[in-house]
């Protein structure tokens, strides 16, 4: 593994310096640093250096749906998108509800070597919502699970949710809730509002998300637990989380890139690429989640990368699967929605896409670190001035269901480093030797 | 216009051309020989993903009276058990050289996808999709109203139409609200609050929860009763209204409500009716009822739509929509 010298680069968008990566760590940061013998020189002029991105919400689909994605293809896509760690959601087949399955996913991640894969454990057996999975066994396994989620399904039983919130305190875990009141969303196809009324698709009301978040923050307060809210999508949800934080409740929240930029108007053409759960909301909701992300009410951006094979999207809207890919467009979308609009700095981007998710997932000893001498060299080099037109077929993910197909987005990942090894160079993945 | 997907897409001029053409078609239907040679050699496929014998027969009759070759293609499949995919079906019809595809589908938007996904280059005629649109139903309703209340020509300016019942799940209501407004009529939707969609406030119409007040105070020129599906009240806690009896008490058109209507007011229903639920037998069979005539007008309107989509650009009259 060679050393790297990145010349004239702006860490977190600050003043330009040289940064040396050697021996898996950041070896030097400063003006005109001495390059170690044999070091690879990278011109970072105009580029921004960020801590490697951390995704708290990735569907890698393996085991079970290798036709959509594998750990290998999904983590390669993650590296291409600038990530150095991902949390793999539990709704695989079999479900990641035992130590055996989470260790399998963890091992596949190690073998692939593109990013650190941290499996998320299911809260309930088989995502059934009936009884707790062996959360302690997953926490104690080699995978060291700290994030538990039935994502795709909501832990809707209030007693079960309370028990889960309490139980994971023993190993500093967190329950990441997919907030969706199931009875209010039976058969739901898109956000319930003006557009659904007109185009005749069954509505997914905002209150079905907000009611669960309101309940859960009160439960978390009552039992003194920490709670993480997945893919919050409405103005009401932002307001509830803001209220909860002001009250001192230990809650964190995430928003997806697509909820920062797309709206329910995108459903009008009945293109199932825009079918996602929670659904795309209104322009007012987009404004609210942008405000919430900028003011810290929303702690992180997480992709909810949800690959699907073509046949699950090339069909009637009502028959299509929910979800869209996101790993390779997340950083560009955040740049477009938040940085280029003047709402956030690159330091803020590092906070919401690296530092905060690493802390929530309790992997902050290795990821989301400052760019300073001695720190692990988990980094991403970004060219914010570049633009590109998204081509689903050309992405690293095995699935093409990107809602940004054909759309020009700003920014390009030039290089990604995982413990000093370049997983991406010149924008292309580099397999481990 | 290459396709007929939504009544909302029609301009006033297009809608009136369709109605005028339908009137010409209807005139030919009183002749002894009803068949016209207009679409000889053209292939019309009736593609039905959802059973509807009456709509299929209406389109089939319309196409045959224009001398088109008709292929009935029943593609069963639900969101639960998928049959052949929409895409594969479309590619098959494309290979068969269909000139027009009349599609009925359980999924909202399926005709839109057929028209725009690039699978097929036939004209697509929406014969009802999910809870979205049923444009020829709206056209035949407008045609019927125009005949009775507007002298059979022009638009429907100033006429009042009450549409009563399950608006939430109704493609008929969605189609009619827009077309009637385009033609200058005023529309009031009358429905229990549970059966009005969230978002209805942006529609170009008024809404009411009170049928008696609407009939007595607003004095509609036409009252259109929507079919209420019995499954809407089964669903336990999710039922949309408490019982059939309560529904017909509050929203059914019975002889008592019939008596309140102005003398000229007509009664409509897209069929099939639930007699005794949304409409009483007396109302359905009264002199005001134009329900049977709606069926006959459906053939003329569908002839007009097929004609204008398939032959409109090249016709002797030079009509084109
Ligand atoms: Zn989810």
Q: Which of A18, A22, A285, A304 is catalytic?
A: A304
With a cut of 70, which residues of chain A have pLDDT below it?
none
Pick the CATH number of A4-48+375-386+406-429 from 2.30.31.20, 3.30.750.24, 2.30.40.10, 1.20.140.10: 2.30.40.10
Domain with CATH 2.30.40.10 in chain A: 4-48+375-386+406-429
Q: Is B107 close to A183, i.e. CB distance below 8 A?
A: no
Quick check: B78 pLDDT over 60? Answer: no
Tokens for A30, please give them: 């400063």
User: Would you place residue B79 in the very low, low, confident or very high pLDDT band (cuts 50, 70, 90)?
Assistant: very low
Nearest to B79 among A192, A195, A319 (CB): A319
Q: Which residue in B has a C-alpha nearest to residue A195's C-alpha? A: B199
Report the pLDDT value the prediction gives residue B236, as an integer from 0 to 100: 74
- Residues of A in Cβ contact (< 8 Å) with B89: none
For B219-245, the pLDDT digits (tens) are: 999 999 999 977 777 667 788 999 899
**Verdict on whether the full-model pTM lies above 0.80:** yes
Whole-number average pLDDT of chain B: 92
pLDDT exceeds cutoff 60 at B81? no
Query: Which residues from A are below 8 Å from B when comparing CB atoms?
Result: 183, 186, 192-203, 205, 269-270, 311, 314-319
Q: What pLDDT, on a 0 to 100 scale, did the predictor assign at position B235?
A: 66
State the pLDDT confidence band at B314, using cuts at 50, 70 and 90. very low
- pLDDT of B33: 83
Per-residue confidence at B77, pLDDT binned at 50, 70, 90? low
Q: How confident is the model at residue B34 (pLDDT cuts 50, 70, 90)?
A: confident
Among partner residues B8, B107, B129, which is closest to A319 by beta-carbon distance?
B107
Q: Is B119 on the interface with A (CB under 8 A)?
A: no
Instruction: Please compute the mean of the pLDDT values over residues B250-255 and round it to a whole number.
Output: 96
Strand arrangement of the beta sheet that strand A174-177 belongs to = A147-148, A174-177, A227-229, A251-255, A300-301
Q: Is the pLDDT of residue B194 over 80?
A: yes
Q: Which member of B42, B56, B104, B160 is catalytic?
A: B104
Q: Which two tokens stand for residue A115?
A: 């990013």
What is the per-residue pLDDT for A235?
A: 98
- Taking each helix axis as running N to C, give the angle between helix B135-149 and helix B12-28, from 0 to 180 degrees, rounded to the nearest 10: 70
- Please give the pLDDT value at position A208: 98
Q: Which helix (H) or strand (E) is B171 found in, with range?
A: helix B171-182
One-letter-per-residue 3-state SS of chain A: CCCEEEEEEEECCCCCEEEEEECCEEEEEECCCCCCCCCEEEECCCCEEEECEEEEEECCCCCCCCCCCCHHHHHHHHHHCCEEEEEECCCCCCCCCCHHHHHHHHHHHHHHCCCEEEECECCEHHHCCCCECCHHHHHHCCCCCCEECCCCCCCCCHHHHHHHHHHHHHHCCEEEECCCCCHHHCCCCEECCHHHHHHCCCEECHHHHHHHHHHHHHHHHHHCCCEEECCCCCHHHHHHHHHHHHCCCCEEEEECCHHHCCCHHHHHHCCHHHCCCCCCCCHHHHHHHHHHHHHCCCCEECCCECCCCHHHCCCCHHHCCCCECCCCCHHHHHHHHHHCCCCCCHHHHHHHHHHHHHHHCCCCCCCCCCCCCCCECCEEEEEEEEEEECCHHHCCCCCCCCCCCCCEEEEEEEEEEECCEEEEECCEECCCC
Annotation marks residue B144 as catalytic:
no
Whether the complex's predicted ipTM is more than 0.85 is answered with yes
**Is pLDDT above 70 for B313?**
no
Q: How far apart are CA B286 and CA B284, in angstroms?
A: 6
Quick check: A192 and B174 CB within 8 A? no
> Is B134 one of the annotated active-site residues of the chain?
yes
Contact A202 B116 (CB under 8 A): no
Q: Closest-CA residue in chain B for A311? A: B85
CB-based contact B13:B318 (threshold 8 Å): no
Measure Cα distances from B101 to B45, B47, B133 in Å.
5, 7, 16
Q: DSSP character for B76?
A: -
Asked if residue B319 has pLDDT above 50, the reply is no
Hey, where are the domains in chain B? 7-133+296-314, 135-294
Nearest Cβ partner of A200 from B85, B116, B132? B132
Residues of chain A with CATH 3.20.20.140: 52-360
CATH code of the domain made up of B135-294: 3.40.50.1370
Tokens of B94: 């494309």
Cβ within 8 Å, pair A315-B85: yes
B84-125 pLDDT, tens digit per residue, is 788 989 999 999 999 999 999 999 999 999 999 999 999 999
User: Quick check: is B55 catalytic?
Assistant: yes
Confidence at residue A338, expressed as pLDDT on a 0 to 100 scale: 98
Distance A184 CA to ligand 1 centre (A): 16
Closest CA of chain A from B81, distance in Å = 10
pLDDT band at B316 (very low <50, low <70, confident <90, very high): very low
How many contacts, defined by CB atoms under 8 Å, are there between A and B?
80
Let me know: does A122 contact A97? Beta carbons within 8 Å: yes
Q: Would you state the pLDDT for residue B315?
A: 43
| Å between A168 CA and nearest CA of chain B | 34
B131 touches chain A (CB under 8 A): yes
User: For residue range B124-156, what is the model confidence (pLDDT) as tens digits?
Assistant: 999 999 999 999 999 999 999 999 999 999 999
Supply the pLDDT for residue A398.
96
Fold of B7-133+296-314: Rossmann fold (3.40.50)
pLDDT value of position A304: 98
Report the distance separating Cα B79 and Cα B194, nearest Å: 24
CATH of the domain spanning A52-360, picked from 3.90.1150.10, 3.40.50.300, 3.20.20.140, 3.30.70.3400: 3.20.20.140
* Predicted confidence (pLDDT) at residue B317 exceeds the cutoff of 50: no
Selecting from B8, B130, B237 the residue whose C-beta is nearest the C-beta of A318 gives B130
Residue of A nearest to B175 (CA): A198
Q: Which residue of B has its CA nearest to A314?
A: B87
CB contact under 8 A, A316 and B203: no
Cβ atoms of residues A253 and A233 within 8 Å: no
pLDDT value of residue A296: 98
3-state secondary structure of B189: strand
Mean pLDDT of B249-272: 96
B320 has a pLDDT exceeding 60: no
């Amino acid at each position: 593994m060679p050393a790297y010298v990145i010349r004239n680069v702006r860490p977190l968008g600050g003043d330009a310096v040289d940064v040396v990566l050697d021996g898996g760590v950041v070896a030097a940061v400063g003006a005109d640093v001495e390059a170690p013998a044999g070091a690879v020189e990278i011109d970072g002029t105009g580029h921004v250096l960020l801590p490697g991105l951390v995704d708290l919400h990735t569907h890698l689909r393996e085991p079970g749906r290798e036709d959509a994605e594998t750990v290998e293809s999904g983590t390669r896509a993650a590296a291409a998108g600038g990530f150095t760690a991902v949390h793999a959601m539990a709704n695989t087949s079999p479900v990641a509800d035992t130590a055996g399955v989470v260790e399998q996913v963890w091992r596949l991640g190690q073998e692939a070597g593109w990013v650190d894969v941290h499996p998320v454990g299911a809260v309930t057996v088989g995502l059934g919502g009936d009884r707790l999975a062996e959360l302690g066994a997953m926490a104690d396994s080699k995978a060291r699970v700290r994030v538990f989620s039935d994502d795709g399904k909501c832990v809707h039983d209030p007693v079960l949710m309370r028990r889960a919130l309490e139980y994971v305190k023993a190993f500093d875990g967190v329950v990441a809730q997919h907030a969706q009141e199931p009875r209010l969303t039976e058969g739901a196809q898109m956000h319930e509002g003006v557009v659904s009324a007109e185009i005749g698709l069954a509505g997914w009301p905002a209150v079905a998300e907000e009611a669960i978040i309101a309940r859960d923050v009160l439960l978390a307060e009552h039992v003194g637990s920490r709670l993480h809210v997945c893919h919050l999508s409405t103005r009401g949800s932002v307001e509830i989380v803001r209220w909860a934080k002001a009250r001192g409740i230990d809650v964190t929240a995430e928003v997806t890139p697509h909820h920062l930029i797309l709206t329910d108007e995108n459903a009008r053409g009945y293109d199932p690429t825009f079918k996602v759960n929670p659904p795309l909301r209104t322009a007012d909701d987009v404004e609210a989640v942008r405000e919430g992300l900028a003011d810290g009410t929303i702690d992180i951006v997480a992709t909810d990368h949800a690959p699907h094979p073509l046949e699950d999207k090339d069909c009637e809207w009502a028959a299509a699967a929910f979800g869209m890919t996101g790993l390779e467009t997340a950083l560009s979308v955040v740049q477009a929605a938040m940085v280029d609009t003047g709402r956030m700095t690159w330091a803020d981007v590092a906070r919401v896409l690296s530092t905060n998710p690493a802390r929530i997932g309790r992997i902050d000893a290795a990821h989301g670190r400052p760019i300073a001498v001695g720190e692990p060299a988990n980094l991403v080099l970004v060219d914010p001035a570049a633009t590109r037109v998204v081509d689903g077929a050309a992405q690293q993910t095995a699935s093409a269901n990107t809602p940004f197909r054909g759309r020009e987005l700003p920014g390009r990942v030039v290089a990604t480093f995982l413990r000093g090894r370049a997983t991406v160079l010149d924008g292309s993945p580099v397999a481990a030797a | 216009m290459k396709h007929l997907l939504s009544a909302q897409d029609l301009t006033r001029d297009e809608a009136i051309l369709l109605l005028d053409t339908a009137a010409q078609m209807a005139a030919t239907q009183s002749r002894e020989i009803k068949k016209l040679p207009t679409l000889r050699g053209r292939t019309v496929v009736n593609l039905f993903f959802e059973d509807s014998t009456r709509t299929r027969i209406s389109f089939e009759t319309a196409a045959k009276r224009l001398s088109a070759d008709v292929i009935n293609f029943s593609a069963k499949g639900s969101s639960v058990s998928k049959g052949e995919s929409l895409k594969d079906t479309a590619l098959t019809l494309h290979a068969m050289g269909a000139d027009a595809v009349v599609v009925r589908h359980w999924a909202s938007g399926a005709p839109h996808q057929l028209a725009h996904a690039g699978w097929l280059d036939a004209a697509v005629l929406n014969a009802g999709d999910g809870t979205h649109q049923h444009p020829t139903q709206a056209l035949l309703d407008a045609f019927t109203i125009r005949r009775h209340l507007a002298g059979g020509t022009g638009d429907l300016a100033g006429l009042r139409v009450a549409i009563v019942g399950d608006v939430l799940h109704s493609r008929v209501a969605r189609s009619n609200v827009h077309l009637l407004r385009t033609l200058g009529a005023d529309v009031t939707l009358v429905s229990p609050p549970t059966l009005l969609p969230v978002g209805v406030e942006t529609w170009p119409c008024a809404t009411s929860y009170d049928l008696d007040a609407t009939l007595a105070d607003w004095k509609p020129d036409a009252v259109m009763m929507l079919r209420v599906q019995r499954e809407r009240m089964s669903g336990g806690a999710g039922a949309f209204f408490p019982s059939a009896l309560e529904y017909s008490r509050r929203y059914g058109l019975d002889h008592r409500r019939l008596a309140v209507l102005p003398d000229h007011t007509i009664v409509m229903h897209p069929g099939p009716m639930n007699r005794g639920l949304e409409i009483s037998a007396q109302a359905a069979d009264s002199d005001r009822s134009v329900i049977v005539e709606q069926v006959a007008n459906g053939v003329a309107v569908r002839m007009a739509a097929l004609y204008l989509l398939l032959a409109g650009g090249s016709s002797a009259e030079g009509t084109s929509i």
